[in-house]
Amino acid sequence: MTTASDDSFAAELRPFRIEVPDAELDDLRDRLARTRWPDELRDVAWSRGVPLHYLQELAEYWRTGYDWRRHEAMLNEYPQFTTAIDGATVHFLHVRSPEPSALPLIVTHGWPGSIVEFQNIIAPLKNPRAHGGDPADAFHLVIPSIPGYGFSGPTRDTGWTTNRVARAWAELMHRLGYERYGTQGGDWGAFVSAELGRVDPDHVLAVHLNAATMGFIPFGPVDADELATFTDDERARLERLSVSTAGPGNGYFEVQANRPQTLAYALSDSPVGQLAWIVEPFKEWTHHAEHPDDAVDRDQLLTNVMLYWLTNTAASSARFYYENMHVGSWNQQPGTTPTGVAVFAEDYAIRRYGERTNNIVHWSEFDRGGHFAAMEAPDLLIDDVREFYRPFRVHGS
Protein backbone atom coordinates (compact mmCIF):
# COMPACT_ATOMS: atom_id res chain seq x y z
CA MET A 1 0.00 0.00 0.00
CA THR A 2 1.18 3.52 -0.76
CA THR A 3 1.75 5.54 2.40
CA ALA A 4 2.68 9.13 3.14
CA SER A 5 6.28 8.09 3.73
CA ASP A 6 6.44 6.19 0.44
CA ASP A 7 5.14 8.92 -1.82
CA SER A 8 4.24 12.40 -0.60
CA PHE A 9 2.28 13.17 -3.78
CA ALA A 10 0.19 10.03 -3.46
CA ALA A 11 -0.59 10.89 0.16
CA GLU A 12 -1.71 14.42 -0.75
CA LEU A 13 -5.35 15.22 -0.16
CA ARG A 14 -6.48 17.22 -3.18
CA PRO A 15 -9.67 19.33 -3.10
CA PHE A 16 -12.24 18.11 -5.62
CA ARG A 17 -15.28 19.67 -7.21
CA ILE A 18 -17.79 18.02 -9.54
CA GLU A 19 -17.89 19.96 -12.82
CA VAL A 20 -19.47 17.99 -15.65
CA PRO A 21 -18.95 19.57 -19.09
CA ASP A 22 -22.10 20.72 -20.91
CA ALA A 23 -21.12 18.48 -23.83
CA GLU A 24 -21.55 15.37 -21.67
CA LEU A 25 -25.03 16.44 -20.61
CA ASP A 26 -25.95 17.22 -24.24
CA ASP A 27 -24.69 13.78 -25.27
CA LEU A 28 -26.79 12.14 -22.56
CA ARG A 29 -29.97 13.91 -23.66
CA ASP A 30 -29.25 13.03 -27.29
CA ARG A 31 -28.75 9.36 -26.47
CA LEU A 32 -31.95 9.30 -24.42
CA ALA A 33 -33.88 10.87 -27.30
CA ARG A 34 -32.55 8.28 -29.75
CA THR A 35 -33.18 5.20 -27.59
CA ARG A 36 -34.06 2.11 -29.58
CA TRP A 37 -36.76 0.56 -27.42
CA PRO A 38 -37.52 -3.18 -27.29
CA ASP A 39 -40.97 -4.73 -27.51
CA GLU A 40 -42.78 -6.14 -24.51
CA LEU A 41 -45.36 -8.84 -23.81
CA ARG A 42 -48.69 -7.76 -22.41
CA ASP A 43 -49.61 -8.07 -18.74
CA VAL A 44 -46.26 -9.32 -17.43
CA ALA A 45 -45.61 -6.31 -15.14
CA TRP A 46 -42.18 -6.68 -13.42
CA SER A 47 -42.03 -10.47 -13.69
CA ARG A 48 -39.56 -10.40 -16.62
CA GLY A 49 -37.70 -7.23 -15.78
CA VAL A 50 -38.37 -3.50 -15.84
CA PRO A 51 -41.66 -2.74 -17.65
CA LEU A 52 -41.37 -0.80 -20.88
CA HIS A 53 -43.95 1.88 -20.05
CA TYR A 54 -42.35 2.62 -16.69
CA LEU A 55 -38.84 2.93 -18.06
CA GLN A 56 -39.98 5.09 -20.99
CA GLU A 57 -41.69 7.52 -18.64
CA LEU A 58 -38.69 7.63 -16.29
CA ALA A 59 -36.22 8.08 -19.14
CA GLU A 60 -38.28 10.94 -20.57
CA TYR A 61 -38.29 12.64 -17.18
CA TRP A 62 -34.52 12.12 -17.02
CA ARG A 63 -34.17 13.77 -20.43
CA THR A 64 -36.55 16.70 -20.00
CA GLY A 65 -37.37 17.19 -16.31
CA TYR A 66 -34.36 16.19 -14.26
CA ASP A 67 -31.89 19.02 -13.53
CA TRP A 68 -28.36 17.66 -13.07
CA ARG A 69 -26.90 21.10 -12.39
CA ARG A 70 -29.12 21.51 -9.33
CA HIS A 71 -28.02 18.17 -7.92
CA GLU A 72 -24.40 18.75 -8.87
CA ALA A 73 -24.53 21.98 -6.85
CA MET A 74 -26.06 20.13 -3.90
CA LEU A 75 -23.26 17.56 -3.94
CA ASN A 76 -20.68 20.32 -4.21
CA GLU A 77 -21.95 21.79 -0.94
CA TYR A 78 -20.02 19.01 0.78
CA PRO A 79 -16.22 19.34 1.03
CA GLN A 80 -14.72 16.76 -1.33
CA PHE A 81 -11.23 15.46 -1.91
CA THR A 82 -9.27 12.85 -3.80
CA THR A 83 -6.12 11.01 -2.84
CA ALA A 84 -4.13 8.12 -4.27
CA ILE A 85 -4.07 4.93 -2.21
CA ASP A 86 -2.64 1.61 -3.35
CA GLY A 87 -2.64 2.69 -6.99
CA ALA A 88 -6.25 3.90 -7.04
CA THR A 89 -7.83 7.32 -6.93
CA VAL A 90 -10.06 7.58 -3.87
CA HIS A 91 -12.75 10.25 -3.91
CA PHE A 92 -14.45 11.11 -0.65
CA LEU A 93 -16.64 13.61 1.16
CA HIS A 94 -15.15 14.93 4.40
CA VAL A 95 -17.87 16.66 6.37
CA ARG A 96 -16.70 17.83 9.77
CA SER A 97 -19.13 18.59 12.58
CA PRO A 98 -19.19 21.97 14.35
CA GLU A 99 -19.15 19.99 17.61
CA PRO A 100 -15.56 19.69 18.88
CA SER A 101 -16.17 16.30 20.51
CA ALA A 102 -17.73 14.70 17.40
CA LEU A 103 -16.82 11.09 16.69
CA PRO A 104 -15.17 10.32 13.31
CA LEU A 105 -17.29 7.89 11.27
CA ILE A 106 -16.44 6.43 7.86
CA VAL A 107 -19.57 5.47 5.88
CA THR A 108 -19.44 3.11 2.88
CA HIS A 109 -22.00 2.53 0.12
CA GLY A 110 -22.71 -0.62 -1.87
CA TRP A 111 -24.04 -1.54 -5.32
CA PRO A 112 -25.98 -0.07 -7.05
CA GLY A 113 -25.47 2.81 -4.67
CA SER A 114 -23.01 5.65 -4.28
CA ILE A 115 -22.25 8.59 -2.03
CA VAL A 116 -25.63 9.98 -3.18
CA GLU A 117 -27.32 7.45 -0.87
CA PHE A 118 -26.27 9.41 2.20
CA GLN A 119 -27.54 12.90 1.39
CA ASN A 120 -30.48 12.56 3.81
CA ILE A 121 -28.39 11.49 6.78
CA ILE A 122 -25.33 13.75 6.50
CA ALA A 123 -26.73 16.91 8.10
CA PRO A 124 -28.44 15.22 11.08
CA LEU A 125 -25.39 13.10 11.85
CA LYS A 126 -23.00 16.02 11.42
CA ASN A 127 -25.01 18.57 13.39
CA PRO A 128 -27.71 16.99 15.57
CA ARG A 129 -28.09 20.26 17.50
CA ALA A 130 -29.59 21.86 14.37
CA HIS A 131 -31.93 18.91 13.77
CA GLY A 132 -33.57 18.48 17.14
CA GLY A 133 -30.97 16.06 18.48
CA ASP A 134 -28.35 15.92 21.19
CA PRO A 135 -25.06 17.61 20.19
CA ALA A 136 -23.25 14.82 22.03
CA ASP A 137 -24.32 12.51 19.16
CA ALA A 138 -22.37 14.44 16.47
CA PHE A 139 -20.09 12.79 13.93
CA HIS A 140 -17.27 13.91 11.66
CA LEU A 141 -18.20 12.10 8.43
CA VAL A 142 -15.87 10.53 5.88
CA ILE A 143 -17.86 9.16 2.93
CA PRO A 144 -15.66 7.61 0.22
CA SER A 145 -16.53 6.10 -3.13
CA ILE A 146 -15.32 2.50 -3.38
CA PRO A 147 -12.48 2.21 -5.95
CA GLY A 148 -14.20 1.47 -9.25
CA TYR A 149 -17.32 3.44 -8.32
CA GLY A 150 -18.17 7.05 -9.14
CA PHE A 151 -15.29 9.47 -8.95
CA SER A 152 -13.05 6.75 -7.50
CA GLY A 153 -13.26 4.93 -10.80
CA PRO A 154 -12.53 3.26 -12.93
CA THR A 155 -9.91 1.02 -11.35
CA ARG A 156 -6.80 0.18 -13.40
CA ASP A 157 -5.72 -3.14 -11.90
CA THR A 158 -7.18 -6.40 -10.62
CA GLY A 159 -7.53 -7.45 -7.02
CA TRP A 160 -9.84 -4.80 -5.58
CA THR A 161 -11.65 -6.91 -2.99
CA THR A 162 -13.46 -5.82 0.16
CA ASN A 163 -10.31 -6.57 2.17
CA ARG A 164 -8.19 -4.31 -0.05
CA VAL A 165 -10.79 -1.54 0.22
CA ALA A 166 -10.84 -1.89 4.01
CA ARG A 167 -7.06 -1.50 4.10
CA ALA A 168 -7.35 1.57 1.88
CA TRP A 169 -9.95 3.04 4.26
CA ALA A 170 -7.61 2.46 7.20
CA GLU A 171 -4.92 4.41 5.35
CA LEU A 172 -7.42 7.16 4.46
CA MET A 173 -8.46 7.63 8.09
CA HIS A 174 -4.79 7.70 9.08
CA ARG A 175 -4.09 10.45 6.53
CA LEU A 176 -7.00 12.44 7.90
CA GLY A 177 -5.47 12.22 11.38
CA TYR A 178 -8.23 10.15 13.01
CA GLU A 179 -6.72 7.89 15.65
CA ARG A 180 -10.02 6.37 16.80
CA TYR A 181 -13.10 6.10 14.62
CA GLY A 182 -16.24 4.16 13.85
CA THR A 183 -17.49 2.54 10.67
CA GLN A 184 -20.91 2.20 9.05
CA GLY A 185 -22.03 0.57 5.83
CA GLY A 186 -24.63 -1.44 3.95
CA ASP A 187 -24.44 -4.03 1.14
CA TRP A 188 -20.77 -4.05 0.00
CA GLY A 189 -20.33 -1.29 2.58
CA ALA A 190 -21.26 -3.83 5.28
CA PHE A 191 -18.52 -6.16 4.02
CA VAL A 192 -15.97 -3.34 3.98
CA SER A 193 -17.01 -1.90 7.34
CA ALA A 194 -16.85 -5.26 9.12
CA GLU A 195 -13.51 -6.03 7.47
CA LEU A 196 -12.17 -2.64 8.53
CA GLY A 197 -12.80 -3.67 12.13
CA ARG A 198 -10.64 -6.73 11.48
CA VAL A 199 -7.75 -5.07 9.63
CA ASP A 200 -7.51 -1.96 11.84
CA PRO A 201 -8.66 -3.11 15.30
CA ASP A 202 -6.37 -0.73 17.16
CA HIS A 203 -8.17 2.26 15.67
CA VAL A 204 -11.74 1.11 14.93
CA LEU A 205 -13.93 1.66 17.98
CA ALA A 206 -16.99 -0.14 16.69
CA VAL A 207 -18.79 -1.27 13.53
CA HIS A 208 -22.39 -0.52 12.54
CA LEU A 209 -24.01 -2.38 9.64
CA ASN A 210 -27.22 -2.54 7.64
CA ALA A 211 -28.12 -4.71 4.64
CA ALA A 212 -25.69 -7.28 6.06
CA THR A 213 -25.41 -10.62 4.26
CA MET A 214 -22.22 -12.74 4.28
CA GLY A 215 -21.47 -13.65 7.88
CA PHE A 216 -25.04 -12.88 8.92
CA ILE A 217 -26.96 -15.48 6.89
CA PRO A 218 -26.80 -19.29 6.62
CA PHE A 219 -24.30 -20.66 4.14
CA GLY A 220 -26.24 -23.39 2.35
CA PRO A 221 -29.44 -25.18 3.42
CA VAL A 222 -30.62 -24.91 7.01
CA ASP A 223 -30.88 -28.17 8.95
CA ALA A 224 -34.47 -29.12 9.80
CA ASP A 225 -33.75 -29.24 13.53
CA GLU A 226 -32.29 -25.74 13.46
CA LEU A 227 -35.11 -24.46 11.26
CA ALA A 228 -37.58 -25.67 13.89
CA THR A 229 -36.06 -23.17 16.34
CA PHE A 230 -36.47 -20.18 14.00
CA THR A 231 -38.78 -17.34 14.93
CA ASP A 232 -41.41 -16.19 12.46
CA ASP A 233 -39.25 -13.18 11.55
CA GLU A 234 -36.22 -15.41 10.97
CA ARG A 235 -38.27 -17.72 8.75
CA ALA A 236 -39.50 -14.74 6.74
CA ARG A 237 -35.93 -13.51 6.23
CA LEU A 238 -34.77 -16.95 5.20
CA GLU A 239 -37.60 -17.17 2.68
CA ARG A 240 -36.72 -13.76 1.19
CA LEU A 241 -33.08 -14.82 1.05
CA SER A 242 -33.95 -18.07 -0.73
CA VAL A 243 -36.06 -16.25 -3.32
CA SER A 244 -33.34 -13.66 -3.86
CA THR A 245 -30.41 -16.05 -4.25
CA ALA A 246 -32.10 -18.94 -6.04
CA GLY A 247 -34.55 -17.06 -8.25
CA PRO A 248 -34.35 -14.72 -11.24
CA GLY A 249 -33.59 -11.81 -8.94
CA ASN A 250 -30.03 -13.11 -8.59
CA GLY A 251 -29.31 -12.71 -12.31
CA TYR A 252 -27.50 -9.40 -11.81
CA PHE A 253 -25.11 -11.13 -9.37
CA GLU A 254 -24.28 -14.02 -11.68
CA VAL A 255 -23.53 -11.70 -14.61
CA GLN A 256 -21.42 -9.20 -12.65
CA ALA A 257 -19.55 -11.94 -10.80
CA ASN A 258 -18.68 -13.84 -13.99
CA ARG A 259 -18.97 -11.67 -17.12
CA PRO A 260 -18.67 -8.01 -16.04
CA GLN A 261 -16.88 -6.92 -19.20
CA THR A 262 -19.55 -8.28 -21.54
CA LEU A 263 -22.27 -6.50 -19.59
CA ALA A 264 -20.32 -3.26 -19.55
CA TYR A 265 -20.53 -2.68 -23.30
CA ALA A 266 -24.30 -2.28 -23.14
CA LEU A 267 -24.33 -0.20 -19.95
CA SER A 268 -21.52 2.10 -21.05
CA ASP A 269 -23.13 2.82 -24.43
CA SER A 270 -26.79 3.15 -23.44
CA PRO A 271 -27.99 5.42 -20.63
CA VAL A 272 -31.37 3.63 -20.71
CA GLY A 273 -29.52 0.34 -20.27
CA GLN A 274 -27.66 1.73 -17.27
CA LEU A 275 -30.92 3.15 -15.90
CA ALA A 276 -32.74 -0.18 -16.18
CA TRP A 277 -29.86 -2.10 -14.60
CA ILE A 278 -29.98 0.12 -11.51
CA VAL A 279 -33.75 0.68 -11.33
CA GLU A 280 -34.56 -3.02 -11.03
CA PRO A 281 -32.76 -3.62 -7.68
CA PHE A 282 -34.28 -0.39 -6.39
CA LYS A 283 -37.66 -2.00 -7.10
CA GLU A 284 -36.78 -5.46 -5.78
CA TRP A 285 -34.89 -4.48 -2.62
CA THR A 286 -37.05 -1.64 -1.29
CA HIS A 287 -39.98 -2.17 1.05
CA HIS A 288 -43.43 -2.63 -0.49
CA ALA A 289 -42.79 -0.37 -3.47
CA GLU A 290 -44.84 -0.74 -6.64
CA HIS A 291 -42.23 1.38 -8.39
CA PRO A 292 -38.71 2.30 -7.24
CA ASP A 293 -39.56 5.97 -6.87
CA ASP A 294 -42.40 5.07 -4.51
CA ALA A 295 -39.69 4.13 -1.99
CA VAL A 296 -36.98 6.69 -2.74
CA ASP A 297 -36.95 10.18 -4.16
CA ARG A 298 -36.96 10.08 -7.97
CA ASP A 299 -34.36 12.80 -8.38
CA GLN A 300 -32.07 11.17 -5.82
CA LEU A 301 -32.41 7.87 -7.67
CA LEU A 302 -31.47 9.55 -10.97
CA THR A 303 -28.55 11.38 -9.38
CA ASN A 304 -27.28 8.02 -8.22
CA VAL A 305 -27.60 6.69 -11.79
CA MET A 306 -25.79 9.78 -13.06
CA LEU A 307 -22.71 8.96 -11.00
CA TYR A 308 -22.44 5.63 -12.81
CA TRP A 309 -23.14 7.14 -16.23
CA LEU A 310 -20.98 10.25 -16.06
CA THR A 311 -17.96 8.40 -14.67
CA ASN A 312 -18.40 5.43 -17.06
CA THR A 313 -17.95 2.99 -14.19
CA ALA A 314 -20.40 0.27 -15.23
CA ALA A 315 -17.45 -2.03 -15.91
CA SER A 316 -15.32 -1.29 -12.86
CA SER A 317 -18.24 -1.35 -10.42
CA ALA A 318 -19.31 -4.75 -11.80
CA ARG A 319 -15.71 -5.98 -11.56
CA PHE A 320 -15.97 -5.59 -7.79
CA TYR A 321 -18.29 -8.62 -7.86
CA TYR A 322 -15.87 -10.60 -10.01
CA GLU A 323 -12.87 -9.81 -7.82
CA ASN A 324 -14.64 -10.80 -4.61
CA MET A 325 -16.17 -13.97 -6.04
CA HIS A 326 -12.85 -15.15 -7.52
CA VAL A 327 -10.56 -14.30 -4.62
CA GLY A 328 -10.34 -18.00 -3.69
CA SER A 329 -11.32 -17.56 -0.06
CA TRP A 330 -12.94 -14.82 2.00
CA ASN A 331 -10.51 -15.79 4.77
CA GLN A 332 -12.58 -13.92 7.34
CA GLN A 333 -11.30 -14.33 10.85
CA PRO A 334 -13.82 -13.97 13.69
CA GLY A 335 -14.26 -10.29 14.44
CA THR A 336 -13.74 -8.96 17.96
CA THR A 337 -14.68 -5.32 17.32
CA PRO A 338 -18.05 -4.42 18.95
CA THR A 339 -20.65 -4.63 16.20
CA GLY A 340 -24.18 -3.28 15.83
CA VAL A 341 -26.64 -4.41 13.17
CA ALA A 342 -29.77 -2.63 11.97
CA VAL A 343 -32.15 -5.04 10.24
CA PHE A 344 -34.69 -3.26 8.06
CA ALA A 345 -37.88 -4.83 6.77
CA GLU A 346 -36.35 -6.15 3.54
CA ASP A 347 -33.00 -7.25 5.02
CA TYR A 348 -31.85 -10.86 5.49
CA ALA A 349 -29.58 -10.78 8.56
CA ILE A 350 -30.28 -13.37 11.28
CA ARG A 351 -28.63 -12.75 14.63
CA ARG A 352 -27.65 -16.35 15.42
CA TYR A 353 -25.44 -16.46 12.31
CA GLY A 354 -23.94 -13.04 12.91
CA GLU A 355 -22.91 -14.04 16.42
CA ARG A 356 -20.78 -16.91 15.13
CA THR A 357 -18.13 -14.63 13.64
CA ASN A 358 -18.91 -11.16 15.00
CA ASN A 359 -18.96 -9.52 18.42
CA ILE A 360 -22.62 -8.47 18.32
CA VAL A 361 -23.44 -5.97 21.07
CA HIS A 362 -26.43 -4.22 19.45
CA TRP A 363 -29.22 -5.58 17.25
CA SER A 364 -32.21 -3.58 16.00
CA GLU A 365 -35.11 -4.77 13.85
CA PHE A 366 -37.48 -2.46 11.98
CA ASP A 367 -40.81 -3.00 10.24
CA ARG A 368 -40.09 -0.61 7.38
CA GLY A 369 -37.21 0.30 5.13
CA GLY A 370 -35.01 -1.93 3.05
CA HIS A 371 -31.68 -2.28 1.33
CA PHE A 372 -31.21 1.46 0.76
CA ALA A 373 -31.94 2.45 4.34
CA ALA A 374 -30.28 5.87 4.17
CA MET A 375 -32.67 6.78 1.35
CA GLU A 376 -35.80 4.87 2.42
CA ALA A 377 -35.81 5.26 6.19
CA PRO A 378 -33.16 7.84 7.09
CA ASP A 379 -34.83 8.63 10.41
CA LEU A 380 -34.52 5.03 11.60
CA LEU A 381 -30.93 4.70 10.44
CA ILE A 382 -29.88 8.01 12.02
CA ASP A 383 -31.44 7.10 15.37
CA ASP A 384 -29.88 3.64 15.37
CA VAL A 385 -26.39 4.89 14.51
CA ARG A 386 -26.63 7.53 17.25
CA GLU A 387 -27.84 5.02 19.84
CA PHE A 388 -25.23 2.42 18.96
CA TYR A 389 -22.24 4.74 19.17
CA ARG A 390 -23.08 6.49 22.45
CA PRO A 391 -21.09 4.05 24.63
CA PHE A 392 -18.03 4.29 22.34
CA ARG A 393 -17.56 8.03 22.19
CA VAL A 394 -14.08 9.34 22.84
CA HIS A 395 -13.84 13.09 23.33
CA GLY A 396 -11.20 14.89 21.35
CA SER A 397 -10.94 12.29 18.56
* Marked catalytic residue, from 178, 321, 353, 389: 321
Q: Residue 299: count other Cβ atoms within 10 Å of its Cβ.
A: 18
Q: How far apart are CA 178 and CA 105, in angstroms?
A: 9
DSSP 8-state code for residue 18: -
* Marked catalytic residue, from 86, 137, 187, 200: 187
Q: Cβ distance 196 to 189 under 8 Å?
A: no
* DSSP sequence for 159-210: ---HHHHHHHHHHHHHHTT-SSEEEEEETHHHHHHHHHHHH-TTTEEEEEEE
Task: Report the Cα–Cα distance between both ends of the chain, in Å, rounded.
Answer: 25
* Residue 321 bears catalytic tag: yes
* Residue 187 bears catalytic tag: yes
Q: How far apart are CA 6 and CA 193, in angstroms?
A: 26
* Marked catalytic residue, from 109, 371, 384, 389: 371
The sign of the torsion formed by the CA atoms of 168, 15, 106, 368 equals: negative
Give the burial class of 125: count Cβ atoms within 10 A of its Cβ; 0-12 exposed, 13-18 middle, 19 or more buried. buried
Q: How far apart are CA 21 and CA 47, in angstroms?
A: 38
Q: Point out the residues that are catalytic.
A: 187, 321, 371
